[in-house]
Amino acid sequence: MKHQTLDLKAAPDLKESIYIGLHRGPDDPLVQANTPNHGPNRYPRNLPGWREAVEQYFDAMLDLSYQLMRGLALSLDLEEHHCDSLADDPMPILRLLHYPPHPVQADDRTWGCGAHTDWGCLTILLQDAAGGLKVKTASGDWIAAEPIPDTVVINIGDMMARWSNDHYQSTPHRVVNRSGGDRYSVPFFFDINYHALVECLPTCQSETNPPKYPPITAGDHIVEMYQKTYQRVMG
């Protein structure tokens, strides 16, 4: 609790979580190379069936992510499988989040999850009925993303914005849990290969619309964001 600060102008976030990635053993080449954020998952003990349920959901969301990425490629006038080679060894993250009831005495700098944009290509969010998620519209208004049964929220992240030269833009959002009870949500963040180069796609640039962002590897971008939002913890 209070270890991450997604809005650097606000107080630390009132949430706690578990991160689950692709389970990689000691013989994995990326693990042997000491690649950040790559390694074995550490699962809670004494929870029968928990790991199996989490891994089953993880695999389902990974499959859905590949389908969505192919749809995005087609929408950008690219070949359907254009992005496949950049995501054949990806670094997706499943995050299991808990938000306690929002303190009555909290000031306007305190959030369950401060205003931010997601970092990767896309996010698939499963939320419970507690509510509290708000997204910022293009006109600058904050509107509630009310939970709808049997649906997920699909969100574009910063990496896709860079890739598409802002054809697709990442959406600012935040969370405050005023339900009076606990809130749980499960975002799945799809990020491509750690060493994949993210640079403006050929169909998203022209003489009148040059690339807005310098090239960067997906891994460097993600590590930079972890360091920024956990800086109060890392020092």
Tell me the three state secondary structure of residue 217: strand
**What residue segments make up the domains of the chain, in order of their start?**
16-234
Order of strands, sheet of 173-175, starting from the edge strand that comes earlier in the sequence: 113-116, 173-175, 133-136, 142-144
Average pLDDT over residues 83-97: 94
Please check the confidence at residue 160 and state whether its pLDDT lies above 90.
yes
What residue ranges in the chain does DSSP mark as E strands? 16-20, 93-99, 113-116, 122-127, 133-136, 142-144, 153-156, 173-175, 183-190, 197-198, 216-217
**pLDDT tens digits for 185-217?**
999 999 999 999 999 999 999 999 999 999 999
Q: Which residue has the higher pLDDT, 199 or 229?
A: 199
- Residue 234: which pLDDT band, with cuts at 50, 70 and 90? very low
Please check the confidence at residue 31 and state whether its pLDDT lies above 80.
yes
Average pLDDT over residues 23-41: 94
pTM for this structure? 0.92
- Residue 232: which pLDDT band, with cuts at 50, 70 and 90? low
Average pLDDT over residues 112-127: 93
Domain 16-234 has CATH 1.10.10.10: no
